[in-house]
Structure 1
């Protein structure tokens, strides 16, 4: 029986991004050995979108109140790397990880499945 999902973020500065997830986002985690941290994620959901191009995968964090969440992140010194945009499915932005990569964050305006 499938009992979870394991998401992998590839990073050019994995140690700094792991510290960000641990210290700034405050996700609890385990040390799988040798400082290799694996974090507990909030409840998740998966969607499958059609594409004409090469298949790809995306990872977004979700929140109930984007403005409040951005305020908390700014107070912790997090760079908001994209202005909030209104999409038909929700409000979207992204934060900058220490490695320079972006981590998208959105407030859904669609029914969510993560709490079913």
Structure 2
């Protein structure tokens, strides 16, 4: 029934955000027309968390070693907006997407349905 996920990152400078995903993160993609890039993502998982406030949705990139990935991304000029913290379920930090706010980066410490992380 469900065969994929299409995530959307909104930004005030979509061109800068697209260049970041293409050039810094190295994601491959296609031009859907007029320079509108759509990127392929690695396998994904989705979790549903309870909240007492308004529901929000977040995007986290996953890696096997958050400290090594952070160091590698910093050599490419990526700005991190939070230190790495241990949340129990994983080691988490946040990085700035030029023109597109910030997103999470984490090293999972929980069981995962993904073969590379399970």
Normalised by the size of structure 1, how large is the TM-score?
Answer: 0.94
Cα distance between partner residues in 2 of 1:48 and 1:83? 24
Q: How many residues align?
A: 116
How far is the alpha carbon of 1:114 from its aligned partner? 2.6
Question: 1:15 aligns to what?
Answer: 15
**Aligned 8 A contact 2:10 2:100 in 1:** no
Q: Does 1:55 align with 2:44?
A: no
Question: 1:5 aligns to what?
Answer: 5
RMSD: 1.3
Structure 1 segments, 4+ long, off by >6 Å, are none
**Aligned 8 A contact 2:60 2:103 in 1:** yes
Cα distance between partner residues in 1 of 2:2 and 2:75? 38
Question: 2:37 aligns to what?
Answer: 37
Secondary structure of residue in 1 paired with 2:8: coil
Deviations 1:4-38 (A, max 9, x none): 00000111111100000000000000100000000
How far is the alpha carbon of 1:100 from its aligned partner? 5.8
Q: Does 1:104 align with 2:104?
A: yes
How far is the alpha carbon of 1:102 from its aligned partner? 1.0
Question: 1:67 aligns to what?
Answer: 67
How far is the alpha carbon of 1:51 from its aligned partner? 1.5
Question: 1:26 aligns to what?
Answer: 26
